[in-house]
Structure 1
Amino acid sequence: MQSWHLFFGATRRPPAILWLVGIAVAVITLIPAIYTIIRALEAVGTTTLPPPKMLIALVINTVILASGTAFLSGIIGISQAFLVERTTLAGRAIWRIVVALPLAIPPYVLGLCVLALFRPRGIIEKWLFTTFALPYGTLPFSGIFGVLGSMVVLALCISPYVYLPVAAVLRQGSNHFNEMAQLSGATWYHRLRHITLPTIAPAAGGGMLLCMLYALADFGVPALLRLPTFSTAIYGQFTGQINRAGAAFLSIPLIFVTLGLIILEERLAGRGSVQINRSWRPYLRHPLQAWQWVAQCGLGMVTLSALVLPIGTLVFWALRPMSLSEQSSSLPWSALLQTGLGNMFFVALIASITTILAIPPALLLRRGGIIGGILARCSQVGYALPGVVVALSVVLVVNRGLSWIAGGVLPLVLAYIIRFLPQAVQSLDVAFNQIAPAIEEAGRSLGRSALSVIQRLVLPLAAPGLQAGWALLFLSMIKELPATLLLRPAGFDTLAVRIWMPASDGHFAAAAPPALLLVAVALAPLTLILHTYHRTPTQHTEEAPWNPS
């Protein structure tokens, strides 16, 4: 009996319907990854493999991009969190929202704005030439291309993945241990090193690993800024040379590296904890005094680069007259609004389906014993597959055994579900894990079945988490680019596609209206996400003189 409970869950044993749906979801998500690996192994020993020099260059570029983006995001996010939550920063309530808004800016949108402004003979260099007669080539505008420019663009857009969890830990943390250390004679440096930094390390490490995963999977920014990475190489093998075996082979290193990062991120996520009990004490905010303007300038520079620059550039493009070539690749506002509404409805529907499919794995993760945990982990394999790899794997499977759905919208739907199901499972797992087991046991003691307890108790109590998880899915799906480019049927457009197609041809003004519309659409789910993050069970941190001794 004990072994049965160990493998299949004990007092909160899930109903049979959850097991059936959980197994089906795990199989659906596993098949594309397994088939991609099989196709990659078939390519070994053939002439379709990329040359070794290309592989070495891809490894170096991808590793530097991912690690550099994570490092820059960590510096930006941790600094912002400390300034907002632990100092007497003026306008703290406003900054708390503003520093998270870059999540609404797709990195490829910021990338195309940077490309248009700072490329050689771009808007800035032409203005310098016409205004100050500064010769072309005087300033190193070519530096925006390659790994450095890609790192900066990605870090500016995804640093909130570090800021949000670190800010939550700092906001909910107790000053109890800090006071005890101060009474023991510890200096501010020792308290920072031995108390504050270990407290935020799991949250910061998890956020930085998420940024690294994002950089590994990103396609738009490296493609715009001419940085060859595994994602751009896979896309090129698939669309340029139509070499699917070679594309599958290039996917293998990306899959295994991402799997290792996911395992590391899960271990870090389980190490952080914030204790809120009778010994909880509010933290004393450090007075900035003369450093107030430095903090405001630092936050303002990041906001200027991540928000004002792209939005201002897009507004400028949208208002100025287009050339004939730009008009040929643009849509009238009526057609653009129709595309945007269709995109919103499509994404909302897929986000709802994905959220429903994520409920059984999320419940099995904590309630299904070892078998349930394995099924839940299998359903999260899509996290190790970047969008371009998911699209490739879906194409390979559809062409081999599901040719009757090829050319339609179902392959794209399947790719979205596989790609973002792990994100939904993680969000729902957090929501379900906050429900005390005693509540479910009380429902079972009243004669209710396990399924009835889930319907009447668990899901209503987890409703806020379900809503936040759905909003996060919507925000991620509405910005998805590579899978949509590879799998969209003829005549099917999304806002991301309407941005990418003219931008890839250099028609930046034609890409501005759909980019502005996409940013506006992304703000709605982001508002719900920020509302969830900023709700805390603690009191507000007090302001008091800071004793650095």
Structure 2
Amino acid sequence: MPLIFVIFISVRTGGSTIVELVFRPRVLDLLINTLLLVVTTLPLCVALGVGLAWLTERTHLPGRRLWSLLVTAPIAVPAFVHSYGWISLLPSLSGLPAAVLVSVLAYFPFLYLPTAAALRRLDPGIEDVAQSLGLTPTKVFFRVVLPQLRVAISGGALLVGIRLLAEYGLFAMIRFDTFTTAIFDQFQSSFNGPAANMLGGVLALLCLLLLVMEFGARGNARYARVGSGTARDQRLWALKGPLKLLACAVPAITTVLALGVPLLTLGKWLMAGGIEAWLNADLVSALGQTLMLAACGALLTSLAGLPIAWLSVRSPGSLTRLLESCSYFASALPGIVVALSLVTTTINFARPIYQTAITVLLAYVLMFLPRAIVSLRAGIAQAPVELEDVARSLGRSPIHALRLTTMRLAAPGAAAGAAMIFIAISSELTATLLLSPNGTRTLATGFWAKSSEIDYAAAAPYALLMILLSLPLTWLLYSQSKRVAGR
């Protein structure tokens, strides 16, 4: 639907106007900015996420369980709160280096979480065989372990790339222009629909490029095993001398930058605001509405993503990839474009749900469906189809066989996806502002309203509540993944 909306506006605009709007210096500047952002940020996120996953899951890193929790926690901090923290600390921070720094700190957990989960489920016997054939630990990692992480890494990188293309609040605060900030400015300043939608079309093409790269990186290899594997813990590699100090420094520095800066800034503004900042009746209402929308949105999005994820693993083909691609296209578009497409559709074809919670939830499904698909797909990929066949041979119906075997093994991935969706909805901004019924205020919209007025002290309680709301869920997800892995 968002794509049809963009295409419809493009056709109505006309070819000459499209050429005039797209082929101009401003669009070239935005394209260069966006490409440089993605090309610089993605490799850094992959290196940091995979490196931290290896350190916390496969080495004798001192306090590795604590570090694994601490490097997971930044996912609970909204991206625009990261910018809020860094801008408060360094007001002059701006441009591409600032955008890359804050983006890596905000989004590397999207690589860390699936990679760490995949490492926990790998059969250690495969690595033993590789070592018995004379491979060094480094060669074992690059030739045996890393290929097994391909689905997790490519899926996580795709999520990060999509977020970089669609993010608004993070880049608006640090004054870095991308397609998304330009689109929002067009609508906000003059409601210039054709110009904004032309930029949205270019953004959709960039998403297509990311999809093609992800499909190529994922490949068609099989990652499940039929047997139970080796019934023992994963081998942990020793760290000695300077290597041990370096290994300890990586998660420590990451934690300080990704958690310390936002929390330090929040503490500063909370102390400046005092008790008066909390004596705000809107805070309780915003918390309640955020909980309701996030819980309902996470459930609906996970249910919507389940059949697509299952088909992409069990029945890959052109139709399946088309279905999967449609979800990525919609989520790559800025929230404001998704919201405007829903506004147009509901006004013309479904007026009873216009500006209701139903429309807001539909926007969340469109925007966050890939998070459910990627997490579910990684879990289903490691659940062998032979288990379903055995269950059906024992008299179970296809649905019961799927539920008792594949879905049970894919449950950690489903939980990870639902948690990421819950966290994303609790901090979603643009679509909520445009689609929510009158009187609706979430923690994210409340924070943005106060920070837009440069009232950082009044905005701090909203930011802190968003973080506190997400941290317990992050802890539960972390604990569940450990229990499932038997660790």
| Superposition TM-score tier, normalisation by shorter sequence | 0.7 to 0.9
- Change in Cα spacing, 1:536 to 1:260, as seen in structure 2 (3 Å) is farther
Letter in 2 for 1:49: L
* Matched ranges for 1:446-525 at <5 A: 450=398, 465-525=413-473
Q: Note the alpha carbon deviations across 1:103-152, whole angstroms, 9 max, x for none.
A: 01111001011111101xxxxxxxxxxxxxxxxxxxxxx3x201110110
- Change in Cα spacing, 1:500 to 1:194, as seen in structure 2 (3 Å) is same
TM-score normalised by length of structure 1: 0.76
- Change in Cα spacing, 1:185 to 1:421, as seen in structure 2 (3 Å) is closer
What is the CA distance between 1:454 and its match in structure 2? 6.0
Q: Which moved more, 1:372-381 or 1:153-162?
A: 372-381
Is the partner of 1:320 in helix, strand or coil?
Answer: helix
* Matched ranges for 1:5-84 at <5 A: 31-43=1-13, 44-46=15-17, 49=21, 52-84=24-56
* Matched ranges for 1:510-549 at <5 A: 510-535=458-483, 537=485
**Does structure 1 residue 160 correspond to structure 2 residue 109?**
yes
* Partner Cα separation in structure 1 for residue 146 and residue 297 of structure 2: 39
* Partner Cα separation in structure 1 for residue 374 and residue 151 of structure 2: 16
**Does structure 1 residue 218 correspond to structure 2 residue 190?**
no
Structure 2 equivalent of residue 235 of structure 1: 184
Structure 1: gaps of 5 or more residues: 1-30, 120-141, 541-549
Structure 2 equivalent of residue 101 of structure 1: 73
Q: Note the alpha carbon deviations across 1:238-269, whole angstroms, 9 max, x for none.
A: 12110112111111121122123134324434
Tell whether the 8 Å contact from 2:159 to 2:370 is kept in structure 1 after alignment: no
Structure 2 equivalent of residue 336 of structure 1: 283
Equivalenced residues, count: 481
Tell whether the 8 Å contact from 2:6 to 2:197 is kept in structure 1 after alignment: yes
What is the CA distance between 1:443 and its match in structure 2? 6.2
* Partner Cα separation in structure 2 for residue 433 and residue 150 of structure 1: 34
**Does structure 1 residue 250 correspond to structure 2 residue 199?**
yes
Tell whether the 8 Å contact from 1:32 to 1:393 is kept in structure 2 after alignment: yes
* Partner Cα separation in structure 2 for residue 204 and residue 457 of structure 1: 25
Q: Which moved more, 1:358-367 or 1:77-86?
A: 358-367
* Higher gyration radius (CA): 1
* Partner Cα separation in structure 2 for residue 354 and residue 293 of structure 1: 42
Structure 1 equivalent of residue 252 of structure 2: 300
* Partner Cα separation in structure 2 for residue 312 and residue 69 of structure 1: 24
What is the CA distance between 1:155 and its match in structure 2? 0.4
- Change in Cα spacing, 1:345 to 1:192, as seen in structure 2 (3 Å) is closer
CA RMSD of aligned residues (A): 3.5
Structure in which a larger fraction of residues adopt helix = 2
* Partner Cα separation in structure 1 for residue 256 and residue 211 of structure 2: 32
* Matched ranges for 1:91-130 at <5 A: 91-119=63-91
- Change in Cα spacing, 1:267 to 1:529, as seen in structure 2 (3 Å) is farther
* Partner Cα separation in structure 1 for residue 231 and residue 272 of structure 2: 60
What is the CA distance between 1:205 and its match in structure 2? 4.3
* Matched ranges for 1:113-512 at <5 A: 113-119=85-91, 142=92, 144-173=93-122, 190=139, 193-195=142-144, 197-200=146-149, 203-270=152-219, 271=221, 273=223, 277=229, 282-321=234-273, 332-365=279-312, 373=320, 376-377=323-324, 380=327, 381-431=329-379, 437=385, 440-441=388-389, 450=398, 465-512=413-460
Tell whether the 8 Å contact from 1:169 to 1:274 is kept in structure 2 after alignment: no
- Change in Cα spacing, 1:175 to 1:424, as seen in structure 2 (3 Å) is closer
* Partner Cα separation in structure 1 for residue 105 and residue 232 of structure 2: 34
More relative contact order in 1 or in 2 (CA 8 Å, sep 6+)? 1
Tell whether the 8 Å contact from 1:363 to 1:432 is kept in structure 2 after alignment: yes
What is the CA distance between 1:448 and its match in structure 2? 6.7
What is the CA distance between 1:192 and its match in structure 2? 5.4
* Partner Cα separation in structure 2 for residue 206 and residue 60 of structure 1: 24
* Partner Cα separation in structure 1 for residue 454 and residue 180 of structure 2: 21
Letter in 1 for 2:111: V
